[in-house]
Structure 1
Amino acid sequence: MGQRTPLYDLHVAMGAKLVDFGGWDMPLHYGSQVEEHHQVRGDCGVFDVSHMTVVDVHGSEAHAWLRGLLANDLDSLDEPGKALYSAMLNERGGVIDALMIYRLADGFRLVLNAVTRKKVLAWLYQHQPAGAVEVRERSELSIFAAQGPNAREKVAQLLGQPRAELIHRLLPFRAEAEADWFIARTGYTGEDGLEIMLPAEQAVGLFNELVGAGIAPIGLGARDTLRLEAGMNLYGQDLDEQHSPWVSNLAGSVALEPRGRPFVGRAALEAELAQGPASRLVGLVLEERGVLRAHQVVRVAGVGEGEITSGSFSPTLNKSIALARVPAATAERAEVEIRGRWLPVRVVKPTFVRHGKILV
């Protein structure tokens, strides 16, 4: 038996198929993964993502400390409510985690991937300066993600006036606190939406209200195909401690300017950039029948070989798509080995769908 979110019994009552995900018993789907995928792309749905980890950082040295620990530059968070996506690196430039960080009125909030919780917390405590920084895991909080083109409007209609007004004025990559809730306009699907952090004892009541208002519950299966279509990485597959942001399509999570800012992993990143990264993360589209899966070999004529990191059938494109780490010189065509056959694939920018629009 794995760890369980406060909604475990409710997931069971709703008929969810439960699976292990990073040590947590989580809903894969509530009947049809494909229908749930289309529900989010066309309307809206709600995910229980309480398996993710919230960490608050306070103290007089919090800003300076995190600015040296994260690859992106916290100076861009120049006012409370701003959000930033950043890699956290080891000394070799490998990705310990890719996380969201929010500026609070009196500190910062980090939201970590579920599978990286132990090592990231250990890394934070290992580097924590004595007395000047407080690191507090907020295990008493639950997290919901309401995603889809109609998500913000439907959630706002359900909530009271202060929270509805907050949702209506919230800009992308911004967050605000309202009483004991923290509402962010962020997500992991390529659609507009919200992520709501709230006390765990309120989780069941809110989830029931959302579902009762017609916001369908969505499992991890659709979450995976939605994020893959959006070209968003999954930790442990598309990024890990053996690969840098340069070869994981995460250059946007790194800020090398200003040049005088030291951060963990910077020297390794600069050395790799000067030499020229040997590989890159691209998108693949399979034009023939078949399914692209992680670890399938990618062959590029006259260049070399690579490997699929994430692959699945795309309900929006009605084709199989994948993310793959391939030689840097890879152009527009490649082949993938599927059950002993080499099938042609198109190489594309690794964003297939964004805000409901097909981009490849």
Structure 2
Amino acid sequence: MTELQQTPLNATHRSLNARMVDFGGWDMPVNYGSQIDEHRAVRTDAGMFDVSHMRVVDFTGDRARAFFEYALANNVGKLQTPGRALYSCMLNSNGGVIDDLIVYRFADDNFRTVVNAGTAEKDIAWFGQLNAEGGFGLTITPRRDLAIVAVQGPNARDKVWQVAPSTRSATELLKPFNAAKIENTPFGELMVARTGYTGEDGFEIVIPATEVCAFWDALQRQGVRPAGLGARDTLRLEAGMNLYGQDMDEDVSPLDAGLAWTVDLNSPRDFVGREKLEADGMQQAFVGLILHKDNGKAAGVLRAHQKVVTPQGEGEITSGTFSPTMQESIAFARVPVGVKPGDIVQVQIRDKALPASVVKLPFVRNGKVLAG
């Protein structure tokens, strides 16, 4: 049996009596007792997640911008100021999603990406292949010396500033999808990004692996609640955020995964997968579902791979859960083009066909219910 990989916070999670699970080959906390309480802490106050299993990769070289213009479906030409970030899919030649990632530009010759844990080695190999084939001449450096902590919630930023006051002046005016590097903090050099995977405000903080345990402990003393993979999943689903491997993969176009907004087909640049996307267009719609209640009670729980029956044909749920915020069963589904918000569809749950409403995503953002 292959030994599970561990983040630098592994012993800390275990000291907090976290329930640990195998998450794509990593030993990760699913919760620390109550997934519901962790979810609500993020929606109402502040919670923190160990996301150090994700991989930071640095890129340096004169043609770094040109490399990302070719490698990504979104356009890094939008990144004009230092620290500006962009969410994008990285596609194969068939238009399928190799990975979704965030790229940060600090200068035209200095970029950083954060890629998913389960695809990290594949991504790094793909970066290397594109770099060599295109003659970009970049130095590509996977950073195994860094950890990442996501601090999320309406009070998250204030609590980070209490723990690391020297970060405040550099990040107080930071707009969403921007980052700053701060050298003189009690925890060494930090990259503080105003990004997240919960639908709430907050920071994702890249920190030296040697300092992350002290940082985590300091945040906990300020009342930031540790949260695990369970709350991370319900939060991201409420927020309408895709999960790689469930809502898209190498066989799914971003146009069929509700990610058309991340694909720039307006600029004249060439990028990997563009030709296939333009030839095929959108083949399926990506929508939200809310299961109808039966006498005021949940009739079931929407889960991945359940069949969705519509007047236009069949579809399938890609992610589903019971929403702690809405107290409803919610899901993402890939359905035939023509299905739209306001429609009623039938979801096959065990031996029953149960009605669900089609809604526009997201379900919840910044603590407010937007769908339903």
Pairing 1:289-300 to 2, within 5 Å after superposition? 289-300=299-310
Within 5 Å, give how 1:49-128 maps onto structure 2. Answer: 49-105=51-107, 106-128=109-131
For 1:314, the equivalent position in structure 2 comes to 323
Q: Could you tell me how far 1:139 is from its partner in structure 2?
A: 1.1
Aligned counterpart, 2:170? 166
Aligned residues: 354
Q: Deviations over 1:221-255 (max 9, x none)?
A: 00000000000000000011111111001112111
The answer to whether structure 1 residue 278 and structure 2 residue 278 are counterparts is: no
Secondary structure of 2:172's match? Answer: helix
Q: TM-score, normalised by structure 2?
A: 0.93
**What is the deviation of 1:278?**
2.4
The match for 1:240 among 249, 260, 283 is 249
Aligned-pair CA distance for 1:65: 1.3
Query: Who is 2:144 aligned against?
Result: 139
Alpha-carbon distance, 1:131 to partner: 6.9
Read off the aligned partner of 2:163 and give its amino acid letter: L
Query: What is the DSSP-based 3-state SS (H/G/I as helix, E as strand, rest coil) of the residue aligned with 1:27?
Result: strand
Q: What one-letter code is carried by the residue in structure 2 that aligns with 1:121?
A: I
- Which residue in the other structure is 2:18 paired with? 16
SS in 2 for 1:36: helix
Larger deviation, residues 164-173 vs 46-55: 164-173
Equivalent-residue separation in structure 1 for 2:98 and 2:286 (angstroms): 18
In the alignment, which of 263, 275, 296 is matched to residue 271 of structure 2? 263
Q: In the aligned structure 2, how far is the partner of 1:69 from the partner of 1:190? A: 27
Separation in 1 of the partners of 2:136 and 2:204?
A: 32
Q: CA RMSD in A?
A: 1.0
Equivalent AA in structure 2 for residue 217 of structure 1: P
Contact 1:281 1:350 in 2 (8 A): no
Between the aligned residues of both structures, percent identity stands at 52
Secondary structure at the aligned position of 1:128 is classed as: helix
Given candidates 263, 280, 287, the residue that maps to 2:292 is: 287
Q: Give ranges in structure 2 of 5+ residues lacking alignment.
A: 184-188, 294-298
Task: Could you tell me which runs of 5 or more consecutive residues in structure 1 were left unpaired when the two chains were aligned.
Answer: none
Residue type at the aligned position of 2:350: R
State how far apart, in whole Å, the 2-side matches of 1:18 and 1:167 are: 33
Query: Is the contact between residue 143 and residue 197 of structure 1 (CA under 8 Å) also seen in structure 2?
Result: yes
- Decide whether the 8 Å contact of 1:156 with 1:167 is kept in 2: no
- 4+ runs deviating over 4 angstroms: none
Q: Which amino acid in the other structure matches residue 201 of structure 2? A: D
